[in-house]
Amino acid sequence: MISQVFILSSKGDHLIYKDFRGEADKDAVSVFFEMVTALSGDQPPVVMSHKDLNFIHVRQGGLYWVASTKTNASPFTVIEFLNRLAALTKDYCGSLCEKSVRMNFALIYELLDEMVDYGYIQTTSTDILKNFIQTEAVTSKPFSLFDLSNVGLFGAETQQSKVAPSTAATRPIMSHRSEQGGKNEIFVDVVERLSVVIGSNGVLMKADVEGEIRVKCYLPTCSEMRIGLNEEFSIGRSQLRGYGTAVRVDECSFHQAVKLDEFDTYRILKVCPSQGEQTLMQYQLSDELPCAPPFRLFPTVEKDYGSRYTDCDLLSQELSSPDQTAELQLKNKAILWSIPRFPGGAQLSALFKVEVPSLSSASLLEVGPVSMSFELPKQTCTGLQIRFLRLSPTQPGMSQRWVRYVTHSDSYTIRI
Amino acid sequence: MEWASQLCENRGLGSKMTDSKYFTTTKKGEIFELKAELNSDKKEKKKEAVKKVIASMTVGKDVSALFPDVVNCMQTDNLELKKLVYLYLMNYAKSQPDMAIMAVNTFVKDCEDPNPLIRALAVRTMGCIRVDKITEYLCEPLRKCLKDEDPYVRKTAAVCVAKLHDINAQLVEDQGFLDTLKDLISDSNPMVVANAVAALSEIAESHPNSNLLDLNPQTINKLLTALNECTEWGQIFILDCLANYTPRDDRESQSICERVTPRLSHANSAVVLSAVKVLMKFMEMLPKDLDYYGTLLKKLAPPLVTLLSAEPELQYVALRNINLIVQKRPEILKHEMKVFFVKYNDPIYVKLEKLDIMIRLASQANIAQVLAELKEYATEVDVDFVRKAVRAIGRCAIKVEQSAERCVSTLLDLIQTKVNYVVQEAIVVIKDIFRKYPNKYESVIATLCENLDSLDEPEARAAMIWIVGEYAERIDNADELLESFLEGFHDESTQVQLQLLTAIVKLFLKKPTETQELVQQVLSLATQDSDNPDLRDRGYIYWRLLSTDPVAAKEVVLAEKPLISEETDLIEPTLLDELICHIGTLASVYHKPPSAFVEGGRGVQHKRLPARAGSGESAESPDVGQAVSAVSDAPPAVIPSQGDLLGDLLNLDLAPPTSNVPPVPSSMQMGAMDLLGGGLDSLMGDESETSASHYRTEVQSPQPPECSERELGGDVGGSPAMGVSLGGAPVGMPAGLGAAPAVGGGLGDLFDLGGGVGVTAGSYIPPKTVWLPAMKAKGLEISGTFARRSGVIHMDLSFTNKAMSVMTDFAIQFNKNSFGLAPAGPLQVLTPLSPNQTVDVSLPLSTTGPVMKMEPLNNLQVAVKNNIDVFYFSCQYPISLLFVEDGKMDRQVFLATWKDIPSENEAQFQIKDCHLNSDAASNKLQGSNIFTVAKRTVDTQDMLYQSVKLTNGIWMLAELRIQTGNPNSTDLELSVKCRAPEVSQYVYQCYELILRN
């Protein structure tokens, strides 16, 4: 049972504080902030305890989302809840940042009141919540929907967070009430994260894909949506379907609202999307990529005992194109090579020469591994495709449907 | 949006609200302003004002002065405004109880509102106003709302009952709300059911004995039906409630499992974990040979693996749970090693957890893969992680014997990198490998010695010194190496100093001729120039040992060390079982029972896994064949069914305890021996370091195994025995080692005590009973009993001549028996036995005789001959006769063994009406060589973990649970685990005998 929920800015300012059970002090907030800032790097921050109060928190949008409990509660429940709370805040307020939370505190209190009663989570579904929520969202600036060519992928945060949130993704879902001109749009994204380890001999040692199908819906009224996947999509090892190349995953889980009666035969997901963002389906594939891994690296390491320096320094670099950059990060003992664009089928090369104090044969053992972070638009590694996206009954007026694919690197490591 | 921007301006102050004076003075004007706005006629202005008040409230400003003004805004049709006012009320009503009454009327009115949203809002808010006076007004509206037509109102009212119960439990009972709540379990709306279940569960926790949440097959069925229709959060309440239910039999258990399994593929990890908890618990009841059991095992793996693709926070929590599951049922994830491989961008706390699980899953089948990974990790950038990875390689070597060689060569490769911290970690783990596989990998010592100079961490230096000392005879320049450390002796940490002292003494004992000077140097450094009491005491002990009795010194210092056990950080079995019942909760993240961190009575009931159907049956089974097959399943085979062929097997292990271990009297605890033993332990024990166990065994005296660990460091100075012996010795020790110390005796004498004192104060001896009545033996009556004195088994016999003639020429013989008991000497009845005369004879027995399984196991057939005839009788001996004195198991070994013995071999017994507390029981049992390895107290229960070793080398592990809280519950519970389960019931009989007498 959740005792308190609070949201703190990165500096520890109280943005939201809600006590559900009246069993803990408000001082807990400062206690939490002191504890979380005093943590050393290797201490797990997720669950902390102070006297008989336990704090569970996540960080989203640069904010601390914290719940405290005095009972032996489930941290899974609490973390899932805090993540949903953050997602709902984003759905309702447009974006997730200190400013939007500050401006919409009344709305967030109202949400919290409906979501949790006496520490028991009641609901986190937008469909149900929209019946109760009275407060209108306050957005910091009007936004335009015209620049759709730039629509990035909402929610598809990569570890480098390079994807700027698109304007479409930062629109509050409820704003159609005031802005009658808001478009009826629906976005379906297939996002895959790739974890690859390539051994020093070039052999693929591990290749895992974690994928999900997400929907962000701006349609005011709920109508049934049918999403057709590749017919040859199969789950598990034994099952094979169709005559084409199998699109196979190991494990698949679905959102509770997804109806699967046509899934087994036709690979059709049926759902009445509620407003806001949802993950309809999650899937995993381990070890058997249907295609070659997207990037290969051919490293050579040479040593030259010629000169002796006392500092570690990047002496020279040769990059294949001027728009690339490279820098030596002494703190991480790494060279960061940034490539803005990498056309398909191309090969890029770079040569780095590094001075290392007291070079020995053993120093070479310390070289590597190489880790890559990237984003591949319009591609899925499993080959999962969306055949069609139908709304029934057809929406009156303009309704736009968008299907997007992207593959991110989760952890792409090449050993040397 | 001025309130918002104002909020922004104040944010710098928000976090330092302690200085309230500052705020009350400067913000007074603001309060007045707000007051005016709140009383404004314009709705919009009012709303903005209430928002401003709430904004101030959030940052911690005291706006309670506005209470009446805000309450005035309550009567409005604007729902948004009403919600804001209620928000304020919930926060301040408690500090202004009299004012809060003002709001009651509106609440009661709102509970009658046609709009269900308003009805629910009112009942929800009223429950949150924790003011006693309000509660009486709450009852009527609550009663109506519990029966409201709208499910939204009903589900809110259900929670409100729990709120009200927290404020005034008596009121809730008197008003009959609990019954209404029970009715809601059958409600048509699943959300109402879920909230009713949650509320009842919470109320039930504060009334542990009430039958509130009466879980029976019918209610369970209702819950399982609601489970499919609920929201995800409701599913969690219901699953958690199900987990408290104990099915009647394995069929019911299976049917519940079948209905819960679909939840495993839910997208919400909390639902998944609650389902895992239910399944892990109910699985315990399923017979292992059931097909469904295997199916279930397979179904558990994918959802657990899926959790690892979540964000790091969830991953961490999941890994902590998986760590428990892997310890309980390693088979679930044994094929999933790869998912625990570390990703370079995992946070360090996730990496470390994964590493731990990797080692737990390591087996011969996957060790190559694991080692290759670990080697990669050892070259990463993060120093902490690299260290842990190197340690992990060492743990693999110790866990999977076949991989030891590979691990050692991997470690040597890493040492070649010369990366300082890698080298040091590697040396620390190689030391452990030496402990596990002595005399196997000593060839690497040369390589290790090359790196001597680069070691700057105490643990690594200590490890290296230990290696040099331990293998001094193989290292040509061991003396030089150790001497080099001696130069900076006083700058070293205690750990290194102690180790250096011991290592040099070892070296001296191995190569006495060349190293006399060195040992004198270190002894004088330790005793005269050091002000560290541990070091000084250890120095003195060595000094006296060496000067009094070098042979004894050798036996003590160079005593064979026990091998280190495989798994060093297993969770205690009962704690593990309890934690399994709490999967998915905080307890499973902390790896502590909830009682350790939850205050008061809430949610801390002690949970236990249900007993497996049919477990323990085999112990009582009269079917010998079955029992024997169970034995052959679990080597080492212990009790052969028939014949001497198998008996030979046993004899391998049958060295009588007296031959190499001097008998230790059970009363040792009171003697000087124990004090010294404890003292020695604490001197040698290196409490501050993780490798304590390692050093502790360094100077292990051969006798006192049972004092170890108990009083670590507690009695270094306080022990009278130590005080006397040290105080009597001159402070300046004689310089020449050859000269006997002024106080003769010294330690040598103390050690001797151990052998000398032969008292059997503690052990229970049953009274003599008549074994052979005179009627059957032509006037010879034999009564007798068995006793174990000073480690020797005696048969105490009384011969009475009830015939008319004199009896002479007595002799005795035993038939083959289960434990090979045989007379150790001839029967000594020296004088002829005249009519009506009685003679008492004590016959020492050995356990080296021929073996044959008897029925019952402890049956002994005896033949006694005299000048008249040969007479046969049989008697039964208490099996405690066979409990040997060195039967105290090391804690870690105990844990590992407990885990290792399959749970089918566990037998449960009850000892009724025993009024002993745990210490008394432990003392009593120890008198009969039942040793308490560890004690744990959970709530009102003491748990004693005890070990027993039989003369033929069989170990028996027991858990004795004693209620401490309730004087009326005097039943003790005993679980016995043994590889030979047929022995269990005899052990139980002994427990009863000993504890009752």
Kindly report, residue by residue over B504-519, the tens digit of the pLDDT: 999 998 888 888 888 9
Residue from B500, B513, B497, B589 nearest B550 by CA: B513
Question: Do residues B796 and B768 lie in contact, with contact meaning Cβ atoms separated by under 8 Å?
Answer: yes
B339 in contact with A, Cβ within 8 Å = yes
CA-based radius of gyration for chain A? 25
What's residue B353's pLDDT?
92
pLDDT at B887 exceeding the cut of 80: yes
Q: Highest mean pLDDT: which of A239-248, B419-428, B738-747? A: B419-428
B387 in contact with A, Cβ within 8 Å = no
The mean pLDDT of B164-179, rounded to a whole number, is 88
Which residues in B lie closer than 8 A to residue A52 (C-beta atoms)? 597-599
What's residue A17's pLDDT?
92
Cβ separation of B233 and A124 shorter than 8 Å? yes
What's residue B726's pLDDT?
36
Q: Which residue has the tokens 């005998």?
A: B993
Alpha helix segments (H runs only) across B741-852: 746-756
The neighbour count for residue B646, using CB atoms within 10 Å, is: 17
Mutate: best of B13, B20, B44, B58, partner A, most A CBs <10 A: B58
Q: Output phi, psi for B694, to 5 deg.
A: -65, -50
Instruction: Give me the residue from A72, A109, A193 closest to B598, CB to CB.
Output: A72
pLDDT at B652 exceeding the cut of 60: no
Which residues in A lie closer than 8 A to residue B267 (C-beta atoms)? 253-256, 279, 282
- CB-side exposure of B904: number of CA atoms within 13 Å? 13
A105 in contact with B, Cβ within 8 Å = yes
Cβ separation of B379 and A368 shorter than 8 Å? yes
What's residue B677's pLDDT?
38
Mutate: best of A18, A74, A288, partner B, most B CBs <10 A: A74
> What value does the mean pLDDT of chain A take?
79
Which residues in B lie closer than 8 A to residue A58 (C-beta atoms)? 311, 313
What's residue B612's pLDDT?
61
ipTM attached to this prediction: 0.72
What is the rounded distance in angstroms from the CA atom of residue B610 to the CA atom of residue B374? 38
Question: Sorting pLDDT into bands at 50, 70 and 90, what band is B925?
Answer: confident
What's residue B759's pLDDT?
40
What is the rounded distance in angstroms from the CA atom of residue A74 to the CA atom of residue B274? 9
pLDDT, one tens digit per residue, over B172-212 is 888 889 889 988 988 888 889 989 988 998 888 877 666 77
Element (H, E) at A37: helix A28-38
Instruction: Read off the DSSP letter of residue B950.
Output: B
What's residue A190's pLDDT?
92
pLDDT at B690 exceeding the cut of 50: no
Question: Do residues B920 and B935 lie in contact, with contact meaning Cβ atoms separated by under 8 Å?
Answer: no
pLDDT at B704 exceeding the cut of 50: no
Least confidently predicted of A348-362, B848-862, B864-878: A348-362
Per the omega criterion (within 30 degrees of 0), is the bond before B550 cis?
no
Question: Sorting pLDDT into bands at 50, 70 and 90, what band is A8?
Answer: very high
CA B164 vs. chain centroid, Å, equals 39
The mean pLDDT of A313-322, rounded to a whole number, is 71
A167 in contact with B, Cβ within 8 Å = no
Least confidently predicted of A105-114, B252-261, B481-490: B481-490
Instruction: Read off the DSSP letter of residue B980.
Output: S
Residue from B250, B41, B346, B529 nearest A41 by CA: B346
pLDDT, one tens digit per residue, over B376-416 is 888 887 888 899 999 999 989 988 888 899 999 999 988 88
pLDDT, one tens digit per residue, over B852-868 is 888 888 888 888 888 88
Q: Which residue has the tokens 């994807």?
A: A163
Question: Of B648 and B110, which is predicted with more confidence?
Answer: B110
What's the residue count for chain A? Answer: 416
Question: Sorting pLDDT into bands at 50, 70 and 90, what band is B418?
Answer: confident
Q: Which residue has the tokens 């034994």?
A: A238
Element (H, E) at B933: strand B931-938
Cβ separation of B379 and A77 shorter than 8 Å? no
Question: Sorting pLDDT into bands at 50, 70 and 90, what band is B715?
Answer: very low
Question: Sorting pLDDT into bands at 50, 70 and 90, what band is B730?
Answer: very low
The mean pLDDT of A200-208, rounded to a whole number, is 83
Query: B890-921 burial string, b = 16+ CB within 10 Å, else e?
Result: bbbbbbbbbbebebbbbbebebeebebebeeb
Residue A238 CB partners (closer than 8 Å, separation 6+):
none
What's residue A240's pLDDT?
56
Question: Sorting pLDDT into bands at 50, 70 and 90, what band is A312?
Answer: low
Q: How far is A397 from chain B (nearest CA, A)?
A: 32
What's residue B239's pLDDT?
93
Cβ separation of A134 and B79 shorter than 8 Å? yes
Question: Do residues A389 and A175 lie in contact, with contact meaning Cβ atoms separated by under 8 Å?
Answer: no
What's residue B500's pLDDT?
92
Cβ separation of B270 and A282 shorter than 8 Å? no
Phi-psi region for residue B144, left (φ > 0), alpha (ψ -120 to 50) or beta? alpha
Structure tokens that stand for B90 in this block = 């919930």
pLDDT at B423 exceeding the cut of 70: yes
Q: Output phi, psi for B846, to 5 deg.
A: -115, 170
Question: Of A87 and B623, which is predicted with more confidence?
Answer: A87
B345 in contact with A, Cβ within 8 Å = yes
What is the rounded distance in angstroms from the CA atom of residue A201 to the CA atom of residue A218? 49
Question: Sorting pLDDT into bands at 50, 70 and 90, what band is A42?
Answer: low
DSSP secondary structure letters along B250-309 = HHHHHHHHHHHGGGGGBSSHHHHHHHHHHHHHHHTTS-TT-HHHHHHHHHHHHHHHHHTT
The neighbour count for residue A358, using CB atoms within 10 Å, is: 9
B601 in contact with A, Cβ within 8 Å = no
Cβ separation of B58 and A17 shorter than 8 Å? yes
pLDDT, one tens digit per residue, over A358-400 is 666 666 667 778 888 898 888 888 888 898 888 877 666 667 7
What's residue B441's pLDDT?
86
What's residue A360's pLDDT?
66
Question: Sorting pLDDT into bands at 50, 70 and 90, what band is B272?
Answer: very high
What is the rounded distance in angstroms from the CA atom of residue A349 to the CA atom of residue B484? 52
Q: Any bridge partners for residue B946, and if so which?
A: B932, B958
Residue B11 CB partners (closer than 8 Å, separation 6+):
A9, A11, A13, A102, B59
Instruction: Give me the residue from A17, A42, A79 closest to B314, CB to CB.
Output: A79
The neighbour count for residue B889, using CB atoms within 10 Å, is: 24
Q: Output phi, psi for A289, to 5 deg.
A: -70, 135
What is the rounded distance in angstroms from the CA atom of residue A152 to the CA atom of residue A129? 27
Question: Do residues B611 and B908 lie in contact, with contact meaning Cβ atoms separated by under 8 Å?
Answer: yes
Q: How far is A288 from chain B (nearest CA, A)?
A: 13
B115 in contact with A, Cβ within 8 Å = no
Structure tokens that stand for B262 in this block = 């679909």
Query: B142-157 burial string, b = 16+ CB within 10 Å, else e?
Result: beebbebeebbbbbbb
Which residues in A lie closer than 8 A to residue B317 (C-beta atoms)? 46-47, 75-76, 79
What's residue A121's pLDDT?
93
Note every long-range contact of B39-42, with CB atoms under 8 Å and residues 24 or more positions apart, other chains counting.
B39/B69, B39/B72
Question: Of B486 and B701, which is predicted with more confidence?
Answer: B486
Question: Sorting pLDDT into bands at 50, 70 and 90, what band is A78?
Answer: very high
The mean pLDDT of B360-382, rounded to a whole number, is 88
> What value does the mean pLDDT of chain B take?
77
Cβ separation of B54 and A105 shorter than 8 Å? yes
A70 in contact with B, Cβ within 8 Å = yes
Q: How far is B118 from chain A (nearest CA, A)?
A: 10
What's residue A305's pLDDT?
67
pLDDT at B25 exceeding the cut of 90: no
What is the rounded distance in angstroms from the CA atom of residue B610 to the CA atom of residue B367? 34
pLDDT, one tens digit per residue, over A156-177 is 333 333 333 343 445 566 544 4
Residue B910 CB partners (closer than 8 Å, separation 6+):
B971, B972, B973, B974
Question: Sorting pLDDT into bands at 50, 70 and 90, what band is A127?
Answer: confident
What's residue B354's pLDDT?
94
Mutate: best of B265, B271, B589, B604, partner A, most A CBs <10 A: B589
Residue from B416, B343, B427 nearest B385 by CA: B343
Question: Do residues A54 and A88 lie in contact, with contact meaning Cβ atoms separated by under 8 Å?
Answer: no
The neighbour count for residue A361, using CB atoms within 10 Å, is: 11
Question: Sorting pLDDT into bands at 50, 70 and 90, what band is B288?
Answer: confident
